[in-house]
Amino acid sequence: MEEVMQAIGVVGLLLLALVGLAAGWIASLVEGGRHRRRYMLIGLVGALAAPVLLAVLGVTLLAAWGLAAMVAAALVGAVIVLVIARLIFD
């Protein structure tokens, strides 16, 4: 796990966090502005979890494509977690 965090780096984590927060913010706008903090927090969790989960599972695409693949994985992870959360909470 330590190798994964070292590979992502501080700048990568900040970028993933920004992607997750932006995805949550956009999701709250789609929902009419309700529960903005909840959506942003859920987007943040999804964006941070997806690249880490893929790296732990041994998906080497992140290493080959670098930061662009991490951002794409973060965006997909945030959207998936946001959809699941919407199904649970609303």
Contact 56, 4 (CB under 8 A): yes
Whether 52 shows a pLDDT value over 80: the answer reads no
What is residue 59's DSSP assignment? -
Count of domains observed in the chain: 1
Instruction: Tell me the percentage of the chain whose pLDDT exceeds 70.
Output: 86
Question: Is residue 33 left, alpha or beta, with left meaning phi > 0 and alpha meaning psi from -120 to 50?
Answer: left
**Range of the structural domain that residue 82 is part of:** 2-89
Range name among 42-51, 62-71, 77-86 with the lowest pLDDT average:
62-71
- Per-residue confidence band for 7, with pLDDT thresholds at 50, 70 and 90: low
